């Protein structure tokens, strides 16, 4: 059994760890509230924009999507992998990285696959095995629509120039603080509309439906990427808050066990001292 001094040192060390993990949990909880509000407020807009685009496209003949809806034989693929810049968030980053690797192995074996990473953790691991054409760690320092739109425009240009035949987003979709859903979402080309779309014909379009669709497509793509990054950002703070909560609980349990061990060891030491005193007194009397 460890001596009392070693046990006291371990109890002090675990107490310090508990203070750190508890503080990180509270910080993540505060950041999560803001990030969660941002993504929940944005989703209705993004969904309505997609719905409007589908409704307009369904009433038009021919290919109104232009170069962004061009379906090509897939030989070159770009994966946009969204992770975080920091760790201590459980399996948040590893789940996205595993999903990206599995996607390549299952669907694009033998094809040329390159990555555009958003987040330091994903870039550090994936750059060892894949070609990373761009990395945008800085986006989380100032997460605004304009900054994300610049990245989306770069991706759209690369696709339009024929450098890639398909672009997919790999990220964690936010459900709640404890649950993140691994998501692989096609970004380009724009997927054709499936099924019948109900169209409200009471709208008056100016200058025209085709012009509006061509205007909406770039905006919709930028919004899609922004929503994915916002989802990932909220998921990161939810995962970190949950991880730090579990770490604090584990540290508390370990500290309690050590306190029990310390008290038992201290009690045993006192008992031994009493026995030695009694034994010495008996020896003197004899």
Q: Which of 80, 169, 85 is nearest to 119 (CA)?
A: 85
Q: What is the DSSP string of 23-46?
A: HHHHHHHHHHHHHHHHHHHHHHHH
Residue 61 lies in a domain: yes
* Distance separating alpha carbons of residues 121 and 101, to the nearest angstrom: 14
Q: Is 141 helix (H, G, I), strand (E, B) or coil?
A: helix
List pLDDT tens digits, range 182-236: 999 999 888 766 655 555 556 676 777 777 777 888 898 999 999 999 999 999 9
Residue 273 lies in a domain: no
Our count of domains for the chain comes to: 1
Residue 255 lies in a domain: no
Residue 184 lies in a domain: yes
> Which residue numbers are catalytic?
89
Residue 8 lies in a domain: no
Residue 78 lies in a domain: yes
User: Taking 90 as the threshold, does the pLDDT of residue 84 lie above it?
Assistant: yes
Q: Which domain holds residue 85?
A: 22-243
List pLDDT tens digits, range 254-264: 999 999 989 98
List pLDDT tens digits, range 95-152: 999 999 999 999 998 899 999 999 999 999 999 999 999 999 999 999 999 999 999 9
* Distance separating alpha carbons of residues 208 and 219, to the nearest angstrom: 17
43: which residues sit within 8 A by CB, 6+ positions away? 227
Structure tokens, 14: 């675990």
DSSP H helices, the chain, are 4-58, 92-107, 120-126, 145-160, 209-285
Q: CATH no. for residue 215?
A: 3.40.1380.10
């Amino acid at each position: 059994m460890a001596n009392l001094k070693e046990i006291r040192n371990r109890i002090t060390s675990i107490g310090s760890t508990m203070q750190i993990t508890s503080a990180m949990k509270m910080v993540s909880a505060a950041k999560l509230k803001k990030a969660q509000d941002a993504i929940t407020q944005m989703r209705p807009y993004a969904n309505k924009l997609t719905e409007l685009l589908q409704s307009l496209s369904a009433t038009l003949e021919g290919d109104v999507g232009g170069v962004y809806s061009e379906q090509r034989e897939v030989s070159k693929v770009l994966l946009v992998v969204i992770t975080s810049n920091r760790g201590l968030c459980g399996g948040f980053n590893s789940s996205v990285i595993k999903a990206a690797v599995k996607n390549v192995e299952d669907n694009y074996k033998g094809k040329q696959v390159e990555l555009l990473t958003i987040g330091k953790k994903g870039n550090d691991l994936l750059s060892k095995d894949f070609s990373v054409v761009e990395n945008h760690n800085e986006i989380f320092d100032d997460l605004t629509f304009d900054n994300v739109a610049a990245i989306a425009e770069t991706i759209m240009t690369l696709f339009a120039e024929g450098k890639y035949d398909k672009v997919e987003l790999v990220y964690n979709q936010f459900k709640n603080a404890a649950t993140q859903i691994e998501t692989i979402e096609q970004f380009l080309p724009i997927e054709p509309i499936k099924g019948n779309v109900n169209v409200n014909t009471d709208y008056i379009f100016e200058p025209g439906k085709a012009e509006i669709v061509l205007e909406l497509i770039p905006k919709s793509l930028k919004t899609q990427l922004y929503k994915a990054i916002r989802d990932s950002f909220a998921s990161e703070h939810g995962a970190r808050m949950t991880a730090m909560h579990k770490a604090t609980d584990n540290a508390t349990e370990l500290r309690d066990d050590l306190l029990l061990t310390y008290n038992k060891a201290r009690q045993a030491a006192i008992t031994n001292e009493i026995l030695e005193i009694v034994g010495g007194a008996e020896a003197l009397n004899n």
